[in-house]
Amino acid sequence: MEMLIATSLLFCAAGCGKSVDMGGLVTQAQETAAFANIAQVSSAQAIHRMEHEGVFANSIEELRELKPEIAAATNPGKAYQGYYFVVLPSTEREQFYAVAIPSQYGVSGKRTFLATADGCIYAKDVGAQAISAAPANPEGAGWNRVRGKARSIGPEDEKPPG
C-alpha cells in the first residue's frame, strides 16, 4: 500500500499523467542564463567604452579584465551553461556586437542572442548556422528585441525572454 501511495505521489508530481519535457526545461534554463550572461557582456562593453574614450572592446578577452564575473562565460572556445559567447569584429570601434550561440543547437538552446552598442539585446532562432557578422538592422533581419532602449525602459526590460 505504501508503495502504491509513493508511486501515485510521484506520478502526480510529474504532472498527473502528463509527460514532463525535462530537456525543454533545461533548454529554457540555459537560454535564460545566456540572456543574463550576454547582458553582462553588454554591461562590460559599456564600462570599457567609459574607460577608453568612447571605444568598445574588440575581443571578449578585453572584457574579462573589466568584469571578472563574466570570466567563465567568456572563456574562448569553451561553452558556458550551454552557450558560446563572442564579440564579433566591427570595423568601427564605436560599435560592438556580442553574441551568445548555443553550443549544441536544439539541446543547449535554440535561440542565439545578439547584444548591440545601444544596449539592445535581440534573440533569433538561426538554426545551427554560425554567425560571423551582425546584421546592420537586426529587427529588419528578423531578430526579436528582448531588451532595449528603443522602447520604453521599465522592469520588463530586465526580465529574461521566455
What's the pLDDT at 4?
35
Percent of the chain with pLDDT strictly greater than 90: 27
Q: What would the pLDDT profile of 77-117 be if each residue is shown by its tens digit?
A: 788 899 998 888 677 767 888 899 999 999 999 999 999 98
**pTM for the structure as a whole:** 0.74
pLDDT of residue 2 exceeding 50: no
Residue 71 has pLDDT above 80, yes or no: no
Could you give all domains of the chain from N- to C-terminal order, each with its CATH number? Answer: 21-158 (3.30.540)
3-state DSSP of the chain: CHHHHHHHHHHHHCCCCCCCCHHHHHHHHHHHHHHHHHHHHHHHHHHHHHHCCCCCCCCHHHHHCCCHHHCCCCCCCCCECCEEEEEECCCCCCCCEEEEEECCECCCECCEEEEECCCCEEEECCCCCCCCCCCCCCHHHCCEEEECCCCCCCHHHHCCCC
> Quick check: 44 pLDDT over 80?
yes
**Residue with more model confidence, 144 or 159:** 144
